[in-house]
Amino acid sequence: MAKIKVKFACTECGTESPKWMGKCPGCGAWNTMVEETETVVRAPVGRTEAIRTKEKARSIIDIESGREPRISTGLTELNRVLGGGLVPGSLLLVGGDPGIGKSTLLLQTSNQLASQGLKVLYVSGEESVRQTKLRADRLGALSDRLFVLCETNLDFIEEAVAEADPDFLVIDSIQTVYRPDVPSAPGSVAQVRECTAQFMRISKGNGVATVLVGHVTKEGAIAGPRLLEHMVDCVLYFEGERHHSYRLLRAVKNRFGSTNEIGIFDMTEDGLREVTNPSELFLSERPLGVSGSSVVASMEGTRPVLVELQALVSPTHFPSPRRMTSGIDHHRMSLVIAVLEKRMGMFMQNQDAYVNVAGGVKLDEPAADLAAAVSIASSFKDLPTKPYDVIFGEVGLTGEVRAVSRAEQRVKEAHKLGFKRVILPEQSLKGWQPPDGIRLIGVKTVAEALKAALE
Known binding-site residue numbers: 96-103
Binding site for ATP: which residues?
Answer: 96-103
CB under 8 Å to 331, separation ≥6 — which residues? none
Rounded Cα distance between 88 and 389, Å, is 45
Tell how far CA 61 is from the center of its chain: 35
Q: How many residues does the chain have?
A: 455
* Cβ–Cβ < 8 Å for 57, 28: no
* Cβ–Cβ < 8 Å for 110, 167: no
Cα angle vertex 115, ends 96, 89, to 5°?
A: 60
Rounded Cα distance between 371 and 369, Å, is 6
Tell how far CA 406 is from the center of its chain: 22
CB under 8 Å to 341, separation ≥6 — which residues? 347, 348, 349
Rounded Cα distance between 206 and 116, Å, is 20
How many CA atoms lie less than 13 Å away from 107 in the CB half-sphere?
Answer: 26
Rounded Cα distance between 254 and 82, Å, is 7
3-state secondary structure of 12: coil
Name the DSSP letter for residue 429.
Answer: G
Rounded Cα distance between 429 and 426, Å, is 6
Rounded Cα distance between 435 and 120, Å, is 46
